[in-house]
Each structure stands twice: as structure tokens, then as C-alpha cells.
Amino acid sequence: MTVRAGIPLPAALPAPAPGWAIGADVVVVGSGVAGLTAALRCAAGGLRTVIVTKARLDDGSTRWAQGGIAAALGEGDSPDQHLRDTLVAGAGLCDETAVGALVSEGPDAVRRLIALGARFDEEADGRISLTREGGHHRRRIAHAGGDATGAEISRALVAAVRRAGIDTVENALALDLLKDAEGRTAGVTLHVMGEGRQDGVGAVHAPAVVLATGGMGQVFSATTNPAVSTGDGVALALRAGAEVSDLEFVQFHPTVLFLGQGAEGRQPLISEAVRGEGAHLVDGAGVRFMAGQHELAELAPRDVVAKALTRRMREQGTDHMYLDARHFGAAMWRRRFPTILAACRAHGIDPVTAPVPVAPAAHYASGGVRTDLAGRTTVPGLYACGETACTGVHGANRLASNSLLEGLVFAERIAAAVAADRPAAGPPVPAPPPGGPGLLPTGARTAIQRAMTAGAGVLRSAAGLAAAAADLDRLAADTDRKPAEPGTDTWETANLHLVARVLVAVAALRPETRGCHWREDHPERDDAHWRRHLVATLAPAAEGSALAVHPTGTTAFPATRAPSAAQDPPTSAPHRADGAAKLETHEP
């Protein structure tokens, strides 16, 4: 079965030629927990390291993380128990070897973060204070500042980067991967927005590139992600010929502050830790509806809670439910959840005296650029970690608070791999011409988001996904529009459009409900046919890169699923002569 889009996609973003260049051994794109950890470890290993970040050094998704970081740090807990909870949440698609690496290496990675200067909340006896979140059978979530864990981790890592004197290019959007004549990574092109040593389009020449650009939440109308989360890393990797996997599994956080019908952009998150401390989900009549739905009730995995909440909304003809934590009292709200308390009050809601209106919103991409256990992608010299990557840890649904831990653990693994691989590259060759229909106007972003929310949001069906695909195709096929000028807004829109089209294509190919992929027309999980990973690539076509998806094979998805040596050319994603993108299915 082949699903072919009628509109070719750009092989590269239309952009001026680089007007300046700097050199490095490794360039890290992104400044969240994954990017900063990778950069620190690479620099400590003697590698000339450059960090490229889209905004300020401390302005990525990490700083917005509220709940905490999961690791088996508490008495009676163990990596095996953490592994079991992660596998259950992942709904049959986790790579158990990758999860094993995460949970076994996680506790020491957190301790190294503390040694670096991160300060977690403590009990009176000096032990790290631990809480629970959805899907966890133990208290294993370490937190800081009550509900400001990400801000504290970001603070500690940024301070360490500055102490280490690592070269940093801020306010820079990475555009496309540079390659040498052998197809190996040779750096990235980027556009610096603002004043500094560099300005405009330039390049960092390096034989190793680490993508740690965060997620793609801005592809939907309402998300918990910051404005910088426009899928840049996944889009760059696709244009470079890398494989992406599991892109259909977008986690919708069930408890996001409901700001009214039609609210768009970044929405305030109400951390799962609020439920971990005993808050209840109730409907408009005050009835708890998670009791009896799952053994963990409100602390069931996020996909279970989001589905139950959405079903209740549909049954009652409303667009939100409520989170009731009035029994916490004012003192606990101020001590444990000061950030959430302030956000609610800023929107006219006082959780001390009234239930908080909540609804699901796009939160986390469980899929991304496909890697092995050392973060290597299928493009020699290109690595990925954090939300940009698909390591196999999350499967069909991420377990709460595993994301910060994954960033720590796999960033350290990438640094070790870069040091061991010592990737080499010749001089970069000119990028292929963009081809395709050209850049979309800035206003197309809203159309993309609304099409994705309507057709590929919490509830999906063949008809809805087909409508979303048609809307996305029409945007590209509109030849009457005024040509858009290259710039940050139009480049981001192009990235959103690309990841949206691939996401819709793979979601349409998965006729089952699994994890955070909910098909109304196929409500059951189908292990016999669909306990597989959907792996997509783009391939060159006559004009740009054509998008087609084609399920092939039933091969395993082992720990060595990407090239073991960064110098070796990829063999797992052969390009088709007809210029089609390829989608494979892999059993876990």
C-alpha cells in the first residue's frame, strides 16, 4: 500500500548562501537538558564544541518542565520497577534494551546533575523529596522549587556551560545539514537573528552534529510547548535523508488549563504531580470519573486519562473537565505548586477555592529522529537526543517525567559515541536546490495548526486524517499565492508543514488505537498486525523530495538499528529510484 502526496517537498530550505562560517569538532543544536548535557560532556572530552540555540541559552522546553525527573532513587524502588512502569505506559512499542539503559543509568545521571549544581527539594532528613505521577507505582519523581524542576535544571546546566566557556551562538535557527562529497555530516547552516559576532545566514562546519531541538507541539493550535517548538530538528533530519520513527504518537497532556473555546498557542500546564499529591478529576457536577477506569485512577498513564477525560467531555457535551485540589489548602499550594498557583490566578482562577478547568493539549512527541542506543542516526555523523529523537524508550506513550531523564542519559551516551567514533568529513558540498513549491506565507501556520487539531488531534479517524492531508496539500498547491520571502517565520512554517504531512501520513497507516494514537474508527489495539514501528524517510525526486509512505518488511527493531560506526554509510534506509519517501514497519 502506498500513499503518495501530490505535492513535492523542498529538499532544502530556500535560503541565501552562508556569509560566514566557524569550525568545530561537534555542533550541538538546542539548549535544553539534552543539548546542554551533550555539549558539556563533549567539551569535557576535549572536543571543540559549539552550541547553536534558537533563542537564549535558557529558553528551551526544559525550563517549562514542572513535575520533575523520574529515577529509582527512593527506598524500596529499583530500576526493574521503573522499567516495568515504562513498558506498560509504552503500550507494547518500547525498546526494552533502551529502557533498560535509561532506568539503570538514570540514578547516577541525576546524581551527576546534582554534583553539577542542581538543587532538588529535600525532606527534613536531607533525602531527595520524591512524588508520584501517572503510570508510576512508586514515588520516584524528584522535583525542585515545588513545581519548577525544569527551571532549576536549566539554571544549573547553563551556569556549567558558561563556566566551561563553551562557544555559543544564540538566537539562531538551524536550517539544513551540510554534507561532504561522501554523504557524511559536515555541519549545519543557520540564520542568526539579531546582533552579535555573526548575523544572517552562516554555517558551523563540523563532522558531528547533535540535534537536540525539542519537540513539535506548535504544529497544533493548543500546546504546552514554547513558541520555539516547531519541529526544526525532525524536519532538518528528514531533508538530510535520515529516518524518523513513531511520529504518530503525540502525547496530549490531559490536564492543561482551559482558557476558553478557541484558545490557541502555548497553554499553561497543570502538572501531573498535582494529581500525584492527591487532586481529583471531576466533571461539572463534581463527580470523579477516573475511579473504576484504571487501577491507578487519576494516576493512570496519560493516554488513559486523556481518553477518559475526552470521553466524559463528549458524553456531557462540554469542552472541559475540572481538577479539584481544594483540599490541599492554601499553604500546600504555595509551598508545593507556586508556579501553577500563580498561573491559575493570573487567569482569574484560584485553585485554593475552586476546581481548575482543564482539557487536553498537545504536549510531547514520543517519536522523532530514529537513533541507536548511542544517539546515532542513519546519516553518518548526525546524532539526535531528547524529544527530537526516537530512542525506543517511550514507545507509544511516554511515561511521566521520563523525558528529562532520557535527555540526561542519552546525551551522555552521545558524547561517548562522538569521542569513540571520531567522525571525519571532507569540505561541505553545495546543498541541493530546494525544488518543490517554495515557502508558504507566514499566515499558513494557523491553517496548518487548525487542520492538525481537527484531523490529527486527540481523536483521529480515516476521514479526519484524510481531510487534514487534503488541507495540507492545498496549502502547498496554491500557486496563486504571493511568493513568501525566506525568513525565520517562513522557515519555521515550512518545518511545521513537513512534520505535519509526515505525521498525518503515518497516523493514517496505523488502523488501531495504541498509546496516545487514538483511532475512533479502530478503537482496539491490534498486536497481531500493528505491534510495529513506522519508519519514514524522504528521498530525492525530480523537483525537491516527494513524500510517499510505503510499509515494508517485518524486521526487528534491535538496539543496533542505526549504523554502528558514524563513518559507515547508512544501509537501513535505501532511497527508491522513483523519488518516494519510504515507510517501514518494524516489530519491537
- The residues carrying an active-site annotation are 302
Alpha carbon distances (Å) from 489 to 172, 502, 574:
13, 20, 33
- In terms of DSSP bridges, do strands 200-205 and 368-370 run parallel, antiparallel, or are they unpaired? unpaired
Strand pairing partners for 42?
Answer: none
Which DSSP helix (H) or strand (E) runs through 81? helix 79-89
Find all residues with CB under 8 Å of 468, minimum gap 6, and list them. Answer: 451, 452, 454, 455, 456, 500, 504
Lookup: cell for 332: 500546600
- Let me know the angle formed at the C-alpha of 372 by 114 and 529, rounded to the nearest 5 degrees: 120
Spatial distance between the Cα atoms of 524 and 511, rounded to a whole number of angstroms: 9
- In terms of DSSP bridges, do strands 356-365 and 250-257 run parallel, antiparallel, or are they unpaired? antiparallel
User: Rg of the chain's alpha carbons, rounded to an integer?
Assistant: 22
- Encoded amino acid at 63, one letter: R
CA 248, 254, 257, 258 dihedral sign is positive
- Encoded amino acid at 102, one letter: L
Lookup: cell for 425: 568529513
SS3 of 207-249: the string is: CEEEECCCCCHHHCCEECCCCCCCCHHHHHHHHCCCCEECCCC
Alpha carbon distances (Å) from 92 to 151, 398, 430, 501:
33, 12, 43, 25
